[in-house]
Amino acid sequence: MKLILAIINNDDSAIAAASLTEAGFFVTKLSTTGGFLMVGNTTLLIGTEDKDVDVAIEIIKKQCTTKKKTVAPTSSFGSGLQNFSLPDEVTVSGATVFVLSVDKMEKM
């Protein structure tokens, strides 16, 4: 048994969760905040059998795209506020996925 943790951009989370549910996966959604851009993400928790991990990851890949976003500069990175700071364009990942082994799972 595996636990898939998929950290997904909020823009893609609804369609990814719906697609996973349509395919028969049980999905729990958590609201999370990324540390780099300090923007909202969704973390999906998906418990599945080992043989279905690749299917779930393919669904996530299909629904979560990489995109460019313009972000305002921030002082949270230790550089301080500067008068010449302009918004930056950064690439936002579609999803970051972790697959963890689970020794035991019970639904109650």
Of the spans 11-25, 36-50, 79-93, which averages the highest pLDDT? 11-25
User: What are the start-end ranges of the E strands in the chain?
Assistant: 2-9, 26-33, 40-48, 67-71, 88-92, 95-101
Residues in the chain: 108
Start-to-end CA distance of the chain, whole Å, equals 17
Number of folded domains in the chain? 1
For position 97, which CATH number holds? 3.30.70.120
Domain housing 43: 2-75+86-101
Per-residue pLDDT at 106 exceeds 80: yes
Q: Could you tell me if residue 80 is inside a domain?
A: no
Report the pLDDT averaged over residues 49-78.
80
Q: 91 falls in which pLDDT band (50, 70, 90)?
A: low
pLDDT single digits (tens) 22-43: 999 999 999 987 766 566 789 9
